[in-house]
A and B are shown apart, each in its own frame.
Chain A
Amino acid sequence: MHMADALVSPAVGAAFWAASAGIIAHSSARLRKQLDDRKVPLMGVLGAFVFAAQMINFSIPATGSSGHLGGGLLLAILLGPSAAFLTIASILMVQALFFADGGLLALGCNIFNLGVFPAFIAHPFIYSKLIGREPSQSRMVFAAIIAAVVALQCGSLGVVLQTFVSGVSSLPFDTFVLLMQPIHLAIGVIEGVVTALIVSFVYRARPEVLHSVIKEKPVGELPVRSLLTAFLISAALIGGLFSWLASEQPDGLEWSIARITGSENLPQPGLKAHEALNAVQEKMAFLPDYTLPEGAGLDKNQRLGKTLSGIVGGALTLVICTLIGIVLRRRRQG
């Protein structure tokens, strides 16, 4: 599943953008060092192949529904880690731009979830280790299933964590995990079977295609440490910066704190400090939002009035936006 812009907070989006950009830079540098320019057209065409293969559906045994190939693990098997990662990242970028699938701010999250796990973890540490030198068909299927399951479980856990940390969705963490992980377990098994069948077909038809990849050293130095450091630093920096900026605007957390302290609808005598803070906040804010936290101190009618003005203003804004659009268009055509 792709993360969507609508569910991601700027801090999470930016941290994963930084992480993914770092890994893209690292992979590009590594690819350059390999000096194998046969891979340049191969990566591009295989990326396009994943798009093409996704247009062909298959029926999922015993369910009656149909699915399509994901392709991350297949690319890792055919291309090796760095090249596969760049190819997956490029596919996700095309999807984000042409289909608005995921979105531009969530692109970093998506590249991380769907690229890092199959290319840098599932393939080198699981698939390559399990498959050995002279792979048999059953061994290939086994290795691919385990690798695909691990990659997809990590990826979906990534989606859950990013959604949870962003805090736009109200899904509790445990519910979301219980929802996502079993679905992705099933998807992982199917992805593994399909990947293994395609790979073994290619292996029978043109073994030399796979030999070149098997012979290639699976992992040189994996950038785990530098990657983690860069990620942590950027997350801390950006998180700190944004939370400082964001604290000027009340957010959902403050609201839920206000909720827990019970100041909503029930002004309690013991919470004078909170009310005083509210008053200060209201004075500081040039124009308080009609949303919740400041509303806590107001009585019902006032709050309704604020909401009403929000709705009236919102409707007027929509009308104005539409009018501007129509006028600009008329002027163009006229």
Chain B
Amino acid sequence: MLAIDGSFLDFKQLDLLALRQTAVHRLDPRAKVLTTLCFIVCVVSFDKYQISALLPFLIYPVTLIAVGDLPPGYILRKMLFVLPFALLVGLFNPIFDRQVILQIGPLDIWGGWVSCLSILLRAILTASAAIILVAITGFPAICEALEKLKMPQAFAVQLLFLYRYIFVLTDEGVRTARARQLRTFGRRGLDLRHFSSLVGHLLLRTWERAERIHMAMLARGFSGEVHSTHKQSHFGKPELIFTVCWVALFILLRLYNAPQLLGSLFTGSMQ
């Protein structure tokens, strides 16, 4: 029960982080969406055995967490929740890919372990980029940015509606789940028959809510688009600088293996 409430509160907290006022929060959402996409494409475009060249990409999440005044522990906790899924598949690599690619003394290192570590690192980078994007932008602003980037309006309206009612209905879901857990001892009452009538009732209530919302919308003259109340932002100089600088950095880091360069300065092992 605590777990349900916990994951739900987590969800709300991420939304609240977007209300902070920092330099990166104030940027036009389009700049942040495009930069994040560039970041992810650069990270996943490395070959499967790459580790060292991925490390400098950590600079992006680290900088945004610092500048955006986000709680690092919270972001880290959210990531830990996601990583097992990537690891589940990644851990098959050492089983199927046993080619020895490196020997350190008596220790053979298989290609599978290297690529598994690479998958883990990719998962950390891409998941943190997505979570940070929401934390510094907010979901409605991301929808607005996507709409300006030519996403169909019907889909934008759907995203905004979903976002509005997720909080209402997950509240209801949590209440229902809690009420059932308090009344059922052990595992009784969890069977399919009770589940389906429980969820069926929730569905009927949801349906009636939709009808009420529709009438309220008609009464207010809904014409197919949701107007946002927050100020209109535009893609100006700060946004251009933000996007161009980051994308240039990503491309540089993609082309040149910075840690390799740095390390060879110290170990002198260049040709």
Query: Which residues from chain A sit less than 8 Å from chain B, CB to CB?
Result: 1-2, 4-10, 13-14, 24-25, 27-29, 31-32, 37-38, 40-49, 51-59, 61, 66, 69, 86-87, 89-91, 93-94, 96-101, 103-105, 163, 167-172, 175, 193-194, 197-198, 201-202, 205-206, 209, 242, 245-246, 249-252, 255, 259, 286-287, 289-292, 295, 300, 302-314, 316-318, 320-322, 324-329, 332
Contacts and interface: CB of A to CB of B under 8 A. Distances in A.
Contacts of B199: 53, 56, 69, 198
Contacts of A311: 52, 263
A197 B203 CA distance: 12
Given A45-B161, A255-B47, A321-B62, 19 more contacts: A4-B85, A6-B119, A42-B214, A45-B165, A48-B168, A49-B169, A52-B169, A52-B174, A53-B202, A58-B194, A90-B162, A98-B14, A100-B130, A100-B131, A205-B204, A300-B103, A311-B52, A320-B59, A324-B66
A103 B37 CA distance: 10
B161 A41 contact: yes
Given A5-B40, A32-B154, A97 B51 contact: no
Given A58-B192, A103-B130, A300-B103, A45 B52 contact: no
Contact of A41 (B111, B153, B214): B214
A314 B190 contact: no
Nearest to B173: A52
A322 to B, nearest CB: 7
B166 A97 contact: no
Given A52-B172, A97-B142, A61 B162 contact: no
Interface in B189-211: 190-200, 202-204, 206-207, 209-211
B266 interface: yes
Nearest to A74: B203
Nearest to B65: A325
A96 B159 CA distance: 13
Given A169-B119, A325-B66, A104 B126 contact: yes
Smallest CB-CB A-B distances: 7 pairs: A44-B161, A313-B263, A52-B173, A313-B259, A201-B200, A197-B196, A309-B263
A87 to B, nearest CB: 7
Contact of B267 (A37, A175, A286, A312): A312
B253 to A, nearest CB: 10
B206 A287 contact: no
Contact of B207 (A209, A287, A329): A209
B86 interface: yes
What secondary structure prevails in chain A residues at the interface with B? helix
A2 B82 CA distance: 11
21 contacts: A4-B123, A5-B126, A7-B86, A27-B155, A28-B154, A38-B211, A51-B169, A52-B174, A53-B199, A104-B37, A168-B118, A286-B256, A290-B260, A291-B47, A306-B260, A314-B52, A314-B55, A314-B263, A320-B59, A321-B59, A328-B63
A38 B214 contact: yes
Given A289-B260, A314-B55, A6 B123 contact: yes
B145 to A, nearest CB: 12
A93 B128 CA distance: 16
Contacts of B49: 252, 255, 291-292
B174 A55 contact: yes
B243 interface: no
B139 A168 contact: no
Interface in B68-104: 69, 72, 78-79, 81-82, 85-86, 89-90, 92-93, 96-97, 99, 101-104
B259 A316 contact: yes
A27 B25 CA distance: 33
Contact of B44 (A5, A91, A94, A287): A5
Interface string B227-271: 000000000000000000000000000001111111110110110
Contact of A194 (B114, B158, B196, B202): B196
Contacts of A169: 89-90, 92-93, 115, 119
Contacts of A286: 256
Contacts of A57: 177, 190, 195
B267 to A, nearest CB: 4
Interface string B13-52: 0110000001000000000000011001101111111111
B53 to A, nearest CB: 7
